[in-house]
Structure 1
């Protein structure tokens, strides 16, 4: 059976949600952040050299990185469900948006979070550039969700699972206002109706307010 090592309030929620969507069995091991440093506890950091969540074990296989775990589970346990095959007309969109959060929006949000904590960085060109990149990325998200109901196209896929954390829970670390993005708000309202998402968040982060608007 799969074991998902989940750190509360982290992108490992993606893996829990995927398992719920696929209705596959898994064991959930929950870890709590240090109340001062907000970092993972030593027992989680000891599991993998990366020292971050999520970590997945499947027999003798142990891997980290949420995107890699999502792809592994879909291929090994999901029968390819929630991914699009190369021959699908939306395959390019699926690939792009699957990698978009970790390759684009999330790093820019993280950069803004760090620069926002440095007094000397306020008003600095590097800070202004980082803010502009977030604005540009959000404009891309808004435009895409005006073209299609889901990131890959007409169907819900793992690309949505990858993006939702960055658009919701990530705002606990780097707050930002999404009120000016009606397509994004409508999209998150659709996500809020998915039973697997609600079940995953209740299991992984019970009591946490979901930032769906």
Structure 2
């Protein structure tokens, strides 16, 4: 059975969501953020030296990093409907967006969150760069979702799980508005029963 080390209000929600979609058995070990620093507790670092979630344990392996965990779980799953057939156009769209979530999009989103924690007048070099990157990424996402239902085409995949959580972080930080296709997409993702079960873990 896969053990998920889950930090509240973190990207480890992705992993529980994926396991629920696949109807795989799992157990969850909970960790709570520090109320003041919002950081993970030191106890999480006893599981993995990076001290951040998600982390899974399975068959003697400990794996960190969302994308790597997603691929590992899909390799263990009896059903593979959340990863398009290799070599197809949908598969390469899946791969692109699976990595986009933590590659291109994570930097401006997380940087924006950190920048909100201190006084800024918008004149620092970082402000313009992050604003440009965030607009570029969100415009690309909006355009993609205007043409297709999901990130890998017309079929829901694990790339949607990766992207939804990143987009939620941006939305909750008020980093975008007037993106109707993204808004429509998020509403559809949040209506999925597996998503709602994962969110119940906090």
Q: What TM-score comes out, normalization by structure 1 length? A: 0.89
State which of 196, 199, 202 in structure 2 corresponds to 1:198: 196
Bigger shift: residues 59-68 or 83-92? 83-92
Q: Distance in 2 between matches of 1:101 and 1:192?
A: 17
Alignment of 1:62-211 (within 5 A): 62-119=62-119, 122-169=122-169, 171-172=171-172, 174-178=173-177, 180-202=178-200, 204-205=201-202
Please report the RMSD computed on the Cα atoms of aligned residues, expressed in angstroms. 1.6
Q: Is the 8 A contact 1:142 1:181 kept in 2?
A: yes
Structure 2 spans left out of the alignment, 5+ residues: none
Q: What TM-score comes out, normalization by structure 2 length? A: 0.93
Structure 1 spans left out of the alignment, 5+ residues: 206-213
How far the C-alpha of 1:118 sits from its partner, in A, is 4.2
Q: What residue in structure 2 maps to residue 57 of structure 1?
A: 57
Deviation track 1:31-62 (CA, whole Å, cap 9, x = no partner) reads 11011111111111211011100110002111
Q: What residue in structure 2 maps to residue 211 of structure 1?
A: none
Q: Distance in 2 between matches of 1:117 and 1:20?
A: 34
Q: Distance in 2 between matches of 1:117 and 1:38?
A: 12
